[in-house]
Amino acid sequence: MGEMRILIADESSVYKKMFTQAAAETGKNAAVTCVAAGNEALEKVKRFDYDIIIIDAEISGSGIINIIKEINRTIPKAVILITARPSHANSKYYDELPDHVPNIPIDRMIKPLYDSYRDNIDIIKRKLEDIFKMIQDETENKTANEPPHNASSSSSPSPASAKIKKILPKNGFQPEIVLIAASTGGPLALEKIFTKLKGNFPVPILVVQHMPPHFTETLAQNLNQKSPLKIKLGEHRETIAAGTVYIAPGGVHMKLDSKSRIYLEDSPPLNGVRPAADALFESIAESFGGKSVLAVILTGMGRDGEKGLSKLKEKRECFCLVQSEKTCVVYGMPSAAVESGLADKILDLDDISLEIENYISAKNNNLTIDN
């Protein structure tokens, strides 16, 4: 990976300094430019080709919506990271941001406010490392998927695909739980799905959406207002129930035990994120009292969910739907499932809710095993 060009737009000289230091400590070849106002950021975006653009949600001058639209017009490959103070006002503002700029890849981060300057640097560094890795993975995936010169147009299954034992639905695969994983672009995707599902949904739904604390609370509240389903944050030791959607709170992993109780765990991040889909999926593979699981992988950066899906395929009757590339904001997580042979069906976002209901409303559990 060559030089990474980073633009930081923030009025706070302290945070600009912390992000710059964190970028240097990643060991990557990063060139950082800092500005203090939105109009300065807008001018930089028009003139230079950045890989990562970090913007404070409350930046003064040109509005953040205008900056993001300009980024999308001039350098759409750039990864956008919006930072915000940990307040409900900011979390609500950011949750509504995708409504104004849909289909643009945006990640988010709560600004760390620890007393220790070193702790703040470490939090930012881990976030930047995750973004660097995502960019590297995306670059390598594009290179690997480019057909060699004069290559035949025919294709054969990858070795990974050939090793995966898939559960294929026949005569009505009926899952006992639905698991959904999402990251960048996920809030709007979840809204499209949950507004279409019926309120008398007969099984629980557990969701991991990569978000910091506060953001997940606002997300759950907004989705609950728009959906016929009951949607809430998962609570520690809460027993899950049919017809309810449980969203993993930001900053902790959400797991399930053998008695269908939620456990919230403050263990280290997985894949650079917490909550992580892998943590939830692996716990269900090990402990879930039922046998049939429907997993749905939506738009998002990185490869979270891949390892957990593999465990679910090994230990449960698991069928996996993934969102199509053309309807994803970022195709990272769905792409990882497809490349690993873990995806059973690829669907456009508008078709996912109906597909879920088709399985849920089936009258029997007959399955065939495809080796």
Query: Active-site positions?
Result: 183, 210, 304
Given a contact cutoff of 8 angstroms between Cβ atoms, the answer to whether 42 and 62 are in contact is yes
Q: Can you tell me the distance from the alpha carbon of 260 to that of 281, in angstroms, rounded to the nearest whole number? A: 13
Q: Can you tell me the distance from the alpha carbon of 339 to that of 341, in angstroms, rounded to the nearest whole number? A: 6
Q: Can you tell me the distance from the alpha carbon of 98 to that of 329, in angstroms, rounded to the nearest whole number? A: 11
The residues near 349 (Cβ < 8 Å, ≥ 6 apart) are 189, 192, 193, 298, 299, 323, 324, 327, 328
- Amino acid at residue number 25: E
Per DSSP, the residues of 75-132 read: -TTPEEEEEE-S-HHHHHHHHHHHHHSTT--EEEEEPP--S-HHHHHHHHHHHHHHHH
State the chain's maximal CA–CA distance in angstroms.
62
Nearest to 356 by CA among 326, 320, 324, 327: 320
Q: Can you tell me the distance from the alpha carbon of 27 to that of 20, in angstroms, rounded to the nearest whole number? A: 12
Q: Can you tell me the distance from the alpha carbon of 295 to that of 166, in angstroms, rounded to the nearest whole number? A: 13
